[in-house]
Amino acid sequence: MLGLHSRRAVIASALALAACSRPAKSQTVIPDDPLKSLADFPVGCCVQAGQLDDPDFAALLARHFSQLTPEWEMKMEYIVQPDGSFQFDRPDRIAGFAREHGLRLYGTTLIWYAQKPDAFIHLDPSRATFGQAYDNYIAGVVGRYQGAAGWDVVNEPVAEDGNGWRQSLWAERLGDFDHMVRAFHVAEAADPTATLFINDYNLESLPAKLSTYQRLIEKLLAAGAPVSGIGCQTHANADLAPGAIAHAIQALAGFGLPIHVSEMDVSVARAKGFLTSRVDLETRQARLYEEAGHAFASLPPKQRFAFTVWGLRDKDSWLHGENAGDTPVLFDDAGEPKPAFAALAKGFQP
């Protein structure tokens, strides 16, 4: 990371070099600098172990980012086997790549309503047996990656419409609130140095969801749960109203805890694109990246945990599977930076 002075110098040199930067796309000057050199906080990207076999992917990832989140291979769906044993080869590979390249590792996700392996479903539902397995999972995974910068301890706890909390296997067996408190305590014991996050999405588009999330965080903190960071996934659509992302980030920063913009992407395909042109949608997309980057960069330094994007090149994005024409992230399929990249870099400036 760079100090304020050297960061200004880098930005100044980036601007001075603008004339000889790569060819403009849509009139946008795209800096040649690594994205991480334009921020004085960690800049993250998600990754799958197999993607590291592609040298172009690996080089682009290591050049621009300073933190990695395994996209799915550090989740129960990969780690927990039908007999209850754990497999760690792929997350180990990602952790190894991070270590070799001097990048921080960020773990997602320990407890998620969306994942309930058979090995847990089939356990004796009595509180003791189930609870021991729950603790054992969290302690085992966090302990293995001790030294990780942080963890999504509880992911997406708020109901889809923002009205209350989600139902889950974990809530049913261990209590809808107690299972969350418990997860944070177990994670803290396994790695007292990691920043422990709660994390959710649609906080910018659904005021009720943001509000329920804030109330839940208050309640967790009041109960003594060691929540030490707040995640705002920031999966946006290009037609999101200007100001909504900044509002959510600022509202969450009110707790004084570190903030993680943990999974940002901006879908063009999911926007109501039939009313507007592709160029218009991509301009809106770039503005949303700039807004998010600026809102984050404007937080007090100790609250800037990291800014993570959810996918390296457009073709790597989970949204590509839903719609192959979607272009939600910072690099195109060839690995060239897009106007969204320039916009985010601009947003990172003070």
Residues binding ligand 9MR (CB under 6 A) = 71-72, 75, 77, 108-109, 201, 233, 263, 318
Minimum Å gap between C-beta 82 and ligand 9MR is: 18
Minimum Å gap between C-beta 269 and ligand 9MR is: 14
User: Catalytic annotation on 156?
Assistant: yes
Which of 40, 71, 191, 200 is an active site residue? 200
Q: Are 267 and 235 in contact (CB under 8 A)?
A: yes
Angle at 48 between CA 44 and CA 54, to 5 degrees: 100
Which of 71, 263, 265, 326 is an active site residue? 263
By C-beta, is 3 or 321 nearer to ligand 9MR? 321
b/e sequence 293-330, b meaning 16+ C-beta within 10 Å: bbbbbebeeebbbbbbbbbbbbbbbbbbeeeeebbbbb
Minimum Å gap between C-beta 72 and ligand 9MR is: 4
User: Catalytic annotation on 290?
Assistant: no
Angle at 325 between CA 320 and CA 330, to 5 degrees: 65
Quick count: other Cβ atoms within 10 Å of Cβ 41?
Answer: 23
Which of 152, 156, 191, 290 is an active site residue? 156
How far, in Å, CA of 180 to CA of 220, rounded? Answer: 8
How far, in Å, CA of 29 to CA of 16, rounded? Answer: 11
How far, in Å, CA of 34 to CA of 141, rounded? Answer: 31
By C-beta, is 31 or 157 nearer to ligand 9MR? 157
**Strands 235-237, 22-25: pairing kind:** unpaired
Angle at 62 between CA 59 and CA 65, to 5 degrees: 135
Minimum Å gap between C-beta 155 and ligand 9MR is: 6
Minimum Å gap between C-beta 151 and ligand 9MR is: 13
Minimum Å gap between C-beta 199 and ligand 9MR is: 8
User: Catalytic annotation on 77?
Assistant: no
Q: What type of residue is 108?
A: T
DSSP 198-210: EEES-TTT-HHHH
Minimum Å gap between C-beta 75 and ligand 9MR is: 5
β strands within 38-96, DSSP E: 43-47, 67-70
User: What tokens does 101 get?
Assistant: 């390249």
Q: Are 116 and 168 in contact (CB under 8 A)?
A: yes
Q: Are 4 and 268 in contact (CB under 8 A)?
A: no
By C-beta, is 134 or 310 nearer to ligand 9MR? 310
Tokens 């422990």 belong to residue:
196
By C-beta, is 28 or 199 nearer to ligand 9MR? 199
User: What tokens does 86 get?
Assistant: 């754990």
For the chain, the C-alpha Rg in angstroms (whole number) is 20
Active-site residues: which are they? Answer: 156, 200, 263
